[in-house]
Amino acid sequence: MKKLLVVLLMVLFVLTGCAGGNGKTEEVVYVIGQDAEPATLNPDAISDDNNYAIVQNLFPRLYKLNNAFNAIPDLATSYDVSDDALTYTFHLRDNAKWSDGEKVTSADVLYTFNEIVDKSYAFESVFASVTSMEAPDDYTVVLKLSEPDGSFLANLSWYGTFILPEHVLKGTDWMTNDEFSNNPVTCGPFKFDQWNKGTDVQIVRDDNYWGDAPKLDRVIYTVVSDGNTMYQAWLNGEIDEISAYYIPTTDLEGIMADTEHYYTVNQVWPSPWYITFNLEDEHFGNPLVRKAVMYGVDREDVSVKATGGYKPANNHFIPDNFVDAVNDEAKEADYDLAKAQALLEEAGYTKDANGYYFECTFAVMDGFDDFCKVIADNMEKMGIKVNLTVLDYNIWVEQCLDNYDFEITALGGFQGPDVLGTTRRWTTDGAVNVARYSRAEVDELAKKATQAATDEERNECIKQVQTYLAEDVPFVLCVNYVDYAPFKSYIKGNNYLSVADGGSMEKSGFSELTYYWLDK
């Protein structure tokens, strides 16, 4: 709570410090709560969910994903694709400037993309099929592919492909360049202002931005590590916006009913919560054990107890959003405790004096606690003793994603915008293949899906992939991410709402605040 009070005092200082002679403030400040601070403000160096909401407001991409999951122009105003689908030509706007006044050109794009590939930064896989990158002039970029890639534009518009300033970063290592990581030169609707370590990150409107001018003057991303404290601060009006995750499900119905003070947006994301296994572990390396867990986790129980039923159970190996690609003949098994225990015994396990077949550690990132407690309880009932370990997100990334140091873990995350986005979770070189699952048939089908000329061909490939996933069970999807998100009634221009409904869904990114304004 001490950190939060410091932030609030800072906000009050900002508000009163810029008041005119009539005592009225001219600065519009928007406060967003998040449970951890970023590891860096370099948006491409590492996978960092704690910086993503911030950097979307600071840096451009060639194209960006809007909140309707469509790629729309950003730094590039348009693009052309050759008839053989192997050459993408992007036409850049000529009026974009970095926050230090330098112009943004195609040289910045080539520098950024080449560094991502050459130094193997977080999302180099986006460029796996790129054979050459050229800049025939200051405002044209040509990317040539070795083979058609139906996911290329979407991946280029999503994560880890923000354009960075060559004149600032050239010759430096993004992982050790603390000056840029902590105080970046930017080119977005907002620019960086200050980072008070452990407390908040603050950005302010960039009046030199080439696009629509934001209506907010300052945005403060305040770090409140305790979810209950964050929730109470939101209720008390000390924070304007928090993730719906921090609103207790027991309170959600009452808040949604209070339409005088709140409005609720609803969106189904291709971002299911799931558990995944270390396939080299002495226990979970055995597919019989993984199948036992699939039978032993009651997904309806998880939905009700962990989410109040707001996030429904998922019984497929891909998000249910992709209806035409879902394979109902190769879905997850229904809950069957007796079958789960029979599979463990088939794998050679017998119960000890305490009624357990074996013991394991469940490494959980902070924020998934309630979800994983229900799963752990299910596993205990089937005879697996579970030690739940909660990790800070950045520690989880290093330990589980980077170093493969876990037995069983859980995560969510965006698997879109189209069905090809799921491939990152189960192809051998997939960027978010936490299980490190690898099967040649699956990789070949993913390649065919990526190169498919029609949606029908693509969906058929993904359906075949699910037959292998059902055999191997490298992960178990549990609940769909249906987002019931209450917002304060004074928050306008919300990107969860369509333009027709007064929002900005079609013209802004997921966490972009360009069109937000406050009616209070």
| Residue 425: closest CA among 269, 268, 274 | 274
| SS3 at position 482 | strand
Span 47-70, average pLDDT: 94
State the angle between helix axes of 299-307 and 369-382 in degrees (0 to 180), rounded to the nearest 10: 140
Q: Is 90 exceeded by the pLDDT of residue 38? A: yes
Contacts (Cβ under 8 Å, ≥6 apart) of 370:
305, 306
- Spacing of C-alpha 405 from chain mean position: 22
pLDDT at position 47: 85
- Spacing of C-alpha 19 from chain mean position: 38
Residue type, 141: V
- Spacing of C-alpha 152 from chain mean position: 18
pLDDT at position 361: 97
Q: Is 60 exceeded by the pLDDT of residue 451? A: yes
Residue type, 212: D
pLDDT at position 21: 40
Length reported for the chain = 520
Whether the CB-CB separation of 371 and 410 falls below 8 Å is answered with: yes
Beta strands in 340-414 (DSSP E): 358-365, 384-391, 408-411
Span 8-27, average pLDDT: 48
What's the DSSP call for residue 223?
E
What's the DSSP call for residue 102?
P
Which residues are bridge partners to 143 per DSSP? 88, 133
pLDDT at position 476: 97
Mean per-residue pLDDT over the chain, rounded: 93
Span 437-463, average pLDDT: 95
Ramachandran class of 258: left when φ > 0, alpha when ψ lies in -120 to 50, beta otherwise:
beta
Q: Is 80 exceeded by the pLDDT of residue 18? A: no
In the chain, the domains with their CATH numbers are 2-35+189-261+489-518 (3.40.190.10), 63-169 (3.90.76.10), 268-481 (3.10.105.10)
Residue 136, preceding peptide bond in cis (omega within 30° of 0): no
What is the rounded distance in angstroms from the CA atom of residue 286 to the CA atom of residue 379? Answer: 16
Q: Report pLDDT digits (tens) over 339-351.
A: 999 999 999 999 9
| Residue 295: closest CA among 382, 388, 411, 406 | 382
Residue type, 70: N
Q: Report pLDDT digits (tens) over 367-424.
A: 888 899 999 999 999 999 999 999 988 899 999 999 999 999 999 988 988 999 999 9
- The burial class, CB within 10 Å (0-12 / 13-18 / 19+), for 213 is exposed
Q: Report pLDDT digits (tens) over 94-150.
A: 999 999 999 999 999 999 999 999 999 988 989 989 999 999 999 999 999 999 999
Whether the CB-CB separation of 332 and 316 falls below 8 Å is answered with: yes
pLDDT at position 417: 87
pLDDT at position 25: 56
| pTM of structure | 0.81
Angle at 395 between CA 313 and CA 304, to 5 degrees: 20
Span 274-303, average pLDDT: 97
pLDDT band, residue 500 (cuts 50/70/90): very high
What is the rounded distance in angstroms from the CA atom of residue 499 to the CA atom of residue 6? Answer: 36
| SS3 at position 391 | strand
The number of beta carbons lying within 10 Å of the beta carbon of residue 92 is: 25
